Structure 1
Amino acid sequence: MDSETGIYEYKASHVLPIVFACVLGLSLATHIYQNFHYRFWRVTFWMFWGSLLYTIGWILRAISSYNPEHVNLYIAATVFVYAAPPVFSASAYNILGRIMHYIPMFAWLNPNRTVLFFVYIGAVVEGLTAAGGARIATGAQETDKYRSGATIMAISVILQCIVEIVLVSIIATLHRKCARAGMLPPNLRFLFYTLYGTSTLVLMRCIYRAVESLYTLDPPGVACNDTCEYFQRNEWLLYAFDAAPMVLFTFWINLLHPGRYLPRDKTRYLDTDGITERNGPGWLDSRAKVETFIDPLDLAGLMKKNKHHTKYWDEPERWPVCEDGFSTGTASNVRGRSFAPPKPEESV
């Protein structure tokens, strides 16, 4: 092991991981403030958690750069840096779920179950990512171990790419339906563009990691061609195609925080005029619990075109009109700034 580069294949930068750790620390502090400010922890908790993991990862990377021969530090830094991006994606799943509650007439799947489905898939990606990263970090001197880690990593990032493409497809479908129905107020438009942008950043990072993993299936010095060596010996790729997109992701959510555009209460929904907001009963599944467990996404109902949920939005006169609206920019999740909704007997 070279005394200067240690476990790295290059002389690791001391400055860049410190810079990214500081920038991410600022983003993390902003997430914490905004989650309290908008009281939106249930929706954007994963932004906080992902930012915390990523910040820790770059702090460990900075320490590791001064101790390149310390294998355990390198392993810890690698695992944290690899593990954070899938967690960021979980925040997008939650935002999508809350949008589907806000426009339930276009939510062809149960919003709660949809979020859980994506989160479960994300957990699989997270587990594969952590396992692959750990094996790569510890297998530099063990060819089989390194190859298995690189293979697991390639599978995890390709799976995440697929999940992101599915996510964007759902977003695009909702966006198109809202536009056709004339139900695209500014708050929804901002949210759709935000999710398009953040998903693009995640896809950029996934594509880079997939290509890197597929080209570096062998450890350094073992059957490695020029492209493989370029990936393994150039640190700038890590910062340009992994760190930078994820930092932009976190700041994008900060600038257009969903707590500004969506109600905390998921029973509040947008009426078909695209302006009025009402307090409905929320998404109700008429099936037995056993059926919802066996078929959580109600795929049977989707195939038979007989979905098992109450279409409460078809009877708007039953549900009270909210005095303010996120669609018009007059509602707020900030404590003391929102109007109390009328009681049911005041409904129109």
Structure 2
Amino acid sequence: MSGVAPQEGVGNYFIYKPVHGASTAFAVLFAISGFAHIWQNNLKYRSYRIGFLLPWASLIFTAGFVLREYGSYHTDNLGIFIASQVLLFVAPPVYNGANYFIFSRALYYLPYLSPIHPGRVWSTFITLDGLVDIMAGNGAARAVNAGASEAERKAGMDLVKVSLFLLLGMFLAFTFLNVQFHYRARRRGVFNYRMKVIMYELYASNLLILLRNCFRTAAFFYPWDSVANSQEWPVWVFEFVPMLINSYIMNVYPPAKYLPANHKVYLAVDGETEIEGPGLIDKRPFLITFVDPFDVVGIITKKDQKNRYWLKDGIGGPLPETQPSAEEAPVISHEAGVQKTAG
């Protein structure tokens, strides 16, 4: 990787001679995308949680490219080199975090199809992602530090390799949940236009992130003088451009436009009516829900504590023998637009 055996005349830390201007262009493009995310998701559709991680990822990329552009003119500046490498390395996983939250909101919208408590999708995956990111960032800082010993650089590369494989494993697990939810929605006839946009958007985003992760994983196993590491174009083609496309896909189809800002609003089982319910409540302690997000114990013991309020709204589903309690009874949401027809 970078920082090992640099070419003559390039400087102390880059293997290849970095091109001037491209990083500035990408910094501007990511900044524009980030401001668009803020306008679309936070201000226009007022979904602050959905709109937090997307501009955050763009901000990290913008900062990383600004430093990379400066570093392309000061290739002997170790601090700038390391900072730019780490920022550009840890930014893409933030898009993973955004996808986790978007999918979580989709599960809240169709709670009767959720294979996992929606609130635990984000908390479980983002916690694991955070741990992996810490490992990856630490390893990347060591691996690109030409001032470190060979053993320290090797240890850094090993950390990055492990983190990348963990990310690939988490990606497969997350994609499996996406596909399972998609299949259930189609089978139940509630895969409306909103869900089509969200799910296909998630698939496209996941594919772009997978392309980036596969490239990063492969690059760390190739020698420093391979095409993947000794030339600049692969990192642009297989990482930077896909991440820019990913960010702008979220601009073209802002998630907050298709998902209710209020996570308690759900689509009744008739596939047409939007209702504001009590929200999917898991009465187990948080630590237990984190360790067992699928409530495997409850399923086995038949003591699943999920509040199936969608069976008690009288719309499209069987009515309970007794009336629901005031706590469980959903209320009709005028904001949601009762009797909205699914696209």
Q: TM-score range by the shorter chain?
A: 0.7 to 0.9
Q: TM-score scaled by structure 2?
A: 0.87
- Cross-structure match for 1:49: 56
CA 1:141/1:134 → structure 2, altered by over 3 Å: closer, same or farther? closer
- Cross-structure match for 2:324: none
C-alpha deviations, 1:112-167, integer Å up to 9, x for none?
12210011011012111211110112146632122111111111121111111111
The 2-side partners of 1:327 and 1:234 are apart by 54
The 1-side partners of 2:195 and 2:188 are apart by 13
- Cross-structure match for 1:309: 306
What SS does structure 2 have at the residue aligned with 1:144?
Answer: helix
What SS does structure 1 have at the residue aligned with 2:266?
Answer: strand
**Is the Cα–Cα contact under 8 Å of residues 20 and 69 in structure 2 kept in the other structure?**
yes
Structure 2 spans left out of the alignment, 5+ residues: 1-5, 315-328
What SS does structure 2 have at the residue aligned with 1:209?
Answer: helix
The 2-side partners of 1:327 and 1:18 are apart by 45
Q: Which amino acid aligns with 1:309?
A: K
Alignment of 1:80-119 (within 5 A): 80-119=87-126
The 1-side partners of 2:212 and 2:291 are apart by 34
**Is the Cα–Cα contact under 8 Å of residues 187 and 326 in structure 1 kept in the other structure?**
no
Larger displacement relative to structure 2 (139-148 or 240-249): 139-148
Q: Which amino acid aligns with 1:176?
A: Y
Tell me, yes or no, if structure 1 residue 319 matches structure 2 residue 316: no
C-alpha deviations, 1:76-123, integer Å up to 9, x for none?
100100010111110000001111111110112211122100110110
The 1-side partners of 2:48 and 2:203 are apart by 22
RMSD: 2.1
- Cross-structure match for 2:268: 271
CA 1:155/1:269 → structure 2, altered by over 3 Å: closer, same or farther? same
- Cross-structure match for 1:192: 199
**Is the Cα–Cα contact under 8 Å of residues 65 and 84 in structure 2 kept in the other structure?**
yes
Tell me, yes or no, if structure 1 residue 15 matches structure 2 residue 12: no
Q: Which amino acid aligns with 2:298?
A: G
**Is the Cα–Cα contact under 8 Å of residues 7 and 69 in structure 1 kept in the other structure?**
yes
C-alpha deviations, 1:232-283, integer Å up to 9, x for none?
2111111111101111111011111111101011111011111111111101
The 2-side partners of 1:141 and 1:3 are apart by 21
What SS does structure 2 have at the residue aligned with 1:316?
Answer: coil
Cα displacement (A) at 1:298: 2.1
Q: Which amino acid aligns with 1:62?
A: E
- Count of residues paired in the alignment: 320
Tell me, yes or no, if structure 1 residue 159 matches structure 2 residue 166: yes
- Cross-structure match for 1:285: 282
The 2-side partners of 1:121 and 1:51 are apart by 21
Alignment of 1:222-261 (within 5 A): 228-261=225-258
Larger displacement relative to structure 2 (295-304 or 50-59): 295-304
The 2-side partners of 1:306 and 1:276 are apart by 30
- Cross-structure match for 2:145: 138
- Cross-structure match for 1:174: 181
CA 1:106/1:144 → structure 2, altered by over 3 Å: closer, same or farther? same
Alignment of 1:197-208 (within 5 A): 197-208=204-215
**Is the Cα–Cα contact under 8 Å of residues 285 and 308 in structure 1 kept in the other structure?**
yes
CA 1:253/1:65 → structure 2, altered by over 3 Å: closer, same or farther? same
The 2-side partners of 1:129 and 1:92 are apart by 20
**Is the Cα–Cα contact under 8 Å of residues 280 and 320 in structure 1 kept in the other structure?**
yes
**Is the Cα–Cα contact under 8 Å of residues 125 and 160 in structure 1 kept in the other structure?**
yes
CA 1:67/1:7 → structure 2, altered by over 3 Å: closer, same or farther? same
CA 1:293/1:26 → structure 2, altered by over 3 Å: closer, same or farther? closer
Q: TM-score scaled by structure 1?
A: 0.86
**Is the Cα–Cα contact under 8 Å of residues 17 and 61 in structure 1 kept in the other structure?**
yes
Larger displacement relative to structure 2 (304-313 or 107-116): 304-313
Cα displacement (A) at 1:19: 1.5
- Cross-structure match for 1:40: 47
